[in-house]
Amino acid sequence: MKKLIRVTTIPLSMNLLLHGQLSFLNQYYSVLAVSGEDKNMTIVREREKVRTSNVEMERGINIIRDLKSFWGLYLIFKREKPLIVHSITPKAGLLSMAAAYFANVPIRMHTFTGLIFPTKTGVLKKILILMDKVLCCFATNVYPEGQGVRQDLLRYRITKKPLKVLANGNINGIDTSYFSKDAVANSVKSELIQNLNIGSSDFVFVFVGRLVNDKGINELIYAFIKLLDSNDIENFYSRGSLKLLLVGPLEPDLDPLKADVIAEIDSNISIISVGFQEDIRPFLAISDTLAFPSYREGFPNVVMQAGSMGIPSIVTNINGSNEIIKHDQNGIIIPVRDHIALFQAMKKMIVQSEKREGMASRARLQIQVNYEREIVWNALKDEYELLEKMLQM
C-alpha cells in the first residue's frame, strides 16, 4: 500500500487536530504519524491504529536542534519512501518539506493552519516570512486552512504556487454527533457545575485554549472585570452571578500574560481556571457563550466545536473566526485587542437573551452544513488521489 506520512511539530497537535482523520486515511494509505514522543502519541497509536515515529521538534528557533530534527526527518523519509509527506504547523512544515525535498518524496504538501508573522514586527517578522517562503519553495503543494490565511499568503507574496482551500476550510472538520449537548449526560453536567461552584442560574462565559497573550486573555480578563464592576450590573443581569470559565493551560514561558491578569485569575472567585482538559464538551455544555478574543488563528477548532454544541461565540475579526462566525447571526465579531468592545459584546449576550438563543440554534446548523468532518476528510482524500493522478500523467 502507498505510504502517507503526516507531520506535526508537537504530538498534542497530532492528537487533537487530526483526531479520527488518520484512521480514516489509513483505509487508503499506510499512514505514519511523525512528531515528538509523549502520551499524546501513545493515544494516536492506539486510537488511530497507525504507526508513529519519534522526531522531537521545537516551536522556537534553535539552529542545532532544528538541524537534528531535520536529519531525523530525512532519515525517516529515505527509509519509508512515502508517496506523500503532508505537514501542518509552522516548524514541522519548514523542516519536513525541506527533508522531504532532499529525500526525493514526490508529493510534498503543507497546510498553513495559521500564520504567525502578520502579528509580529521588526526583524522577527522578516525571519518568519523568510521561513514560510523557504517552506513553500520545498513544498510541491500549499494549502491555506481558510480564505483569510490564503489572502495573507497572497498579500505577503509568500509563494507563487496555487493556493487551494480544501472543502470550506479547517483541517479536520467537526464530528457534530460527538460535539453535541445531547452527548453530555445531565449527571455529568450537574456534577461539574457543583464541583466548580457554579449556580444553576449563573451566566457562564467560557474560553478554551492556551492562556497566553496572543489569545486575547488580557483583554478578556479586563472586559470581564468591567462587566463585574459595571454600575448597572444588577439591572442587566438579575438571574444569578456571572462566571468566566477558562479551559486551557497557562504557558508563562512562551507568550506570558500580564502580571495583574495572572493575579486576577488567581484571586477572583468569579474566574474559574481548570487547566488543560482532554474532553472540553462538558465545559462547553454548561456555558452560555464562548468568548474567544484571539489575535490570530488559522481556523479555530474551538469556535466550530462550540457552534456544534449550540453555543454562540464572541470572536475577533481575524482569519478563520470571521469565516465561521457571521456577525449577529451565530455570534458577534469585535475588533482585535479591544477590551471595551469585548465588554459590550459580552453584555449584549446577557441582555439580549432571545437574540442569543437564535444565534445558538443557527450556530449548530451552520457547522453541520459546512464543517461536518466527513466533508473535510473526503475532500482531503480526493486531493491526494488527484495529485497522485497528476504525478502519473
* Short-list 168, 195, 216, 200, CA closest to 313: 216
C-alpha grid cell, residue 213 = 497573550
Q: Does one domain contain both 166 and 210?
A: no
What local confidence, expressed as pLDDT, does residue 239 receive? 57
241-268 burial, b if ≥16 CB within 10 A, otherwise e? bbbbbbbbebeeeeeebeeebbebbeee
- Let me know whether 212 and 90 are in one domain: no
Same domain, residue pair 204 and 347:
yes
What would the grid cell of residue 282 be? 462538558
Which of 172, 108, 184, 125 minimizes the C-alpha distance to 145?
Answer: 172
What one-character-per-residue DSSP string does 83-130 give? SEEEEESHHHHHHHHHHHHHTT-SEEEEEE---SGGG--HHHHHHHHH
Write the single-letter amino acid at 259: A
Determine the pLDDT at residue 25.
98
What's the chain's Rg over C-alpha atoms? Answer: 21
Q: Are residues 109 and 29 in the same domain?
A: yes
What are all long-range contacts of 356-361, with beta carbons under 8 Å and residues at least 24 apart? 356/288, 356/289, 356/312, 359/312, 359/328, 359/329, 359/330, 359/331, 360/310, 360/311, 360/312, 360/330, 361/310
- Tell me the per-residue pLDDT of 40-69, one tens digit each, with 9 for 90 and over: 999 999 999 999 999 999 988 899 999 999
- Residue 9: all three cell numbers together: 511539530
Q: Is the pLDDT of residue 179 over 70?
A: yes
Q: What is the pLDDT of residues 362-371, one digit of tens each?
A: 999 999 999 9
Domain count, the chain: 2
3-class DSSP assignment, residue 82:
coil
Domain hosting 192: range is 181-370
The predicted structure's pLDDT at residue 327: 96
Tens of pLDDT, residue by residue over 183-232, are 999 999 999 999 999 988 899 999 999 999 999 999 999 999 999 887 66
Which CATH number is 148's domain given?
3.40.50.2000
pTM of the model: 0.84
Residue appearing with cell numbers 518539506: 97
Residue 223 in grid coordinates: 472586559
Kindly state whether residues 49 and 149 are assigned to the same domain: yes
Q: Is the same domain home to 205 and 165? A: no
Say if CB 204 and CB 290 are below 8 A apart. no
Residue 39: Cβ-neighbour burial (10 angstroms; 0-12, 13-18, 19+): exposed
Grid cell locating 284: 462547553
Q: In terms of domains, do 263 and 302 share one?
A: yes
Mean pLDDT score, 259-268: 95
Read off the DSSP letter of residue 241: -
Distances (CA, A) of 100 to 37, 76, 96, 126: 21, 9, 6, 25
CB neighbourhood size of 285 (10 A): 23
Q: Are residues 37 and 56 in the same domain?
A: yes
Residue 191 phi/psi, 5° resolution? Answer: -65, -40
Q: Is 299 exposed, middle or buried (0-12, 13-18, 19+ CB in 10 A)?
A: buried
Q: What does the pLDDT look like over 115-155, one tens digit per residue?
A: 888 878 899 899 999 999 999 999 999 999 999 999 999 99
Residue 17 and residue 111 in one domain: yes
Considering the domain architecture, whether residues 241 and 348 belong to the same structural domain is answered as yes
8 Å CB contact between 138 and 101:
yes
Question: Cβ(148)–Cβ(322) under 8 Å?
Answer: yes
Q: What is the pLDDT of residue 150?
A: 94
Residues 146, 287, single domain; the answer is no
* Same structural domain, 253 and 165: no
For residues 81 and 387, give the distance between their C-alpha atoms in angstroms, rounded to a whole number.
17
Does the pLDDT at position 240 exceed 70? no
